[in-house]
Amino acid sequence: MTTTDFLVIGSGVAGLSFALRAAEYGKVTLLCKSDPLVSSSAKAQGGIAAVMDKNDTFEEHVADTLDAGAGLCDEAAVRTIVEEAPAAIEELLS
Ligand SMILES: Cc1cc2nc3c(=O)[nH]c(=O)nc-3n(C[C@H](O)[C@H](O)[C@H](O)COP(=O)(O)OP(=O)(O)OC[C@H]3O[C@@H](n4cnc5c(N)ncnc54)[C@H](O)[C@@H]3O)c2cc1C
């Protein structure tokens, strides 16, 4: 038997990002189904697309994503993710 303030299931970038924030407020326990380094996040080596340069634009990233999504993307969700990506990258880097 164990007790914890936050139980995070999954050691990919989503789980680890949440765990980092939650650790400011209490004890975090991280649960994953095998080795913590086995995740899609660990396999992703191609980089993360985000607007990090003043010559790049949100509009181009939104257009690229909608094009690659072949009609399956929720445009509002794409726009939110593209616009919030630079801050998320800075947070990951820090
Ligand atoms: C080969 C590959 C290459 C990729 N390359 C890129 C790239 O270059 N750029 C890019 O942006 N994206 C890339 N992606 C996509 C990217 O990896 C994912 O979108 C992202 O890592 C998802 O993060 P996540 O935290 O949601 O999930 P994951 O990183 O998959 O983490 C899921 C976690 O949940 C755990 N879990 C699953 N089921 C259970 C269960 N039943 N019980 C307990 N734990 C469980 C797993 O063990 C794992 O720790 C790639 C994906 C793959 C597979």
Residue of the CA atom closest to atom 42 of ligand 1: 33
Q: 33 and 57: one domain?
A: no
Residue 12 DSSP one-character state: S
55 CA to centre of ligand 1 in angstroms = 30
Nearest ligand 1 atom to the CA of 46 is: 8
Distance between CA atoms of 89 and 64, rounded to whole angstroms? 19
Structural domain of 69: 48-94
Q: 56 and 38: one domain?
A: no
Distance between CA atoms of 11 and 36, rounded to whole angstroms? 6
pTM for the whole structure: 0.85
**pLDDT 10s digits, 73-87:** 999 999 999 999 999
Distance between CA atoms of 94 and 17, rounded to whole angstroms? 12
- Identify the residue whose tokens are 């690229």: 64
Distance between CA atoms of 33 and 9, rounded to whole angstroms? 9
**pLDDT 10s digits, 27-69:** 999 999 989 888 999 898 898 899 999 999 999 999 999 999 9
Q: 12 and 52: one domain?
A: no
Q: 94 and 52: one domain?
A: yes
Site to probe by mutation for ligand 1, drawn from 13, 38, 39, 48 as the one with most ligand atoms within 8 Å of Cβ, is 39
Distance between CA atoms of 66 and 14, rounded to whole angstroms? 23
Q: 33 and 73: one domain?
A: no
